[in-house]
Amino acid sequence: MKAKTKLKANPVGAAPSELTRFKELWRDKFTDSQWDYWRGQFVSATPTRDTRESLRLKFGINLTDDDQIVRFRKWDADEQKRQDESERMASDEKFFIKEFGDSLSKEQIREMVLGASYRRSLVTGDFKEGRATMRLDLDQETAKFNAQLETAKLELKRESEARMKEQFKLAREQFEFDAAKACLKALPALKVIASNKTLSESEKTQMFMEKLFGKAPTEPRPGNQ
């Protein structure tokens, strides 16, 4: 399966060009046999204008000049080279894992794969592919950093939640301890209130609360602020 590459973005709100639409169709929908057929058409004796007309009739792609075909063929050639390099890197990785898998880490294997790709670009003089490898290296490093950052953020969140739970537990224990001390201190007065038969249960409860925790603050009346 052909690897997908990011195409050049259009201005916000602008429709994709016919050439971009063709690239997307070629990349996402065409089969191997279609690639082979149309590549053959591009280099055949068929006039380019007839090839463009065939594309319009079959796929609704309206390429209006031969230069678009030239640019497309260059893009496709670059894509093929990129795909070939991607397959070579995958092959290198399998080889290095087979040869050194027991003695090297995944990170070291990855460095060897990237190094082999860099060397190929230097030997062939294909510095565009070298830059692509560098971008891949940078993308992988960025992805690794982002993953580490998310892991760190998650760990901090967990630690923060654990601290909050511990603080809540300590605060609750302190409250219960203070309440017990207050009850012991106010026990004689509470007994007097409890034995008062002229008070209702709600009045006794209110007096208990005031004895233990003091009177609740009253809201200011309108006009007294």
What one-character-per-residue DSSP string does 10-61 give? PPTTPPPPHHHHHHHHHHHT--HHHHHHHHHHHHSSS-HHHHHHHHHHHH--
The per-residue pLDDT for 26 is 92
- For residues 154 and 158, give the distance between their C-alpha atoms in angstroms, rounded to a whole number: 6
Question: pTM, whole model, 2 decimals?
Answer: 0.45
- For residues 183 and 196, give the distance between their C-alpha atoms in angstroms, rounded to a whole number: 18
Ordered per-residue pLDDT tens for the chain, 225 residues: 444 556 665 555 677 899 999 999 998 999 999 999 999 999 999 999 999 999 999 999 999 999 999 999 999 988 887 787 777 777 877 887 777 767 777 777 777 777 777 666 665 655 455 555 555 665 666 666 567 667 777 787 888 888 888 888 888 888 777 777 777 777 787 788 788 888 888 887 787 777 666 665 565 555 555
Domain borders along the chain are 15-64, 169-213
The per-residue pLDDT for 177 is 74
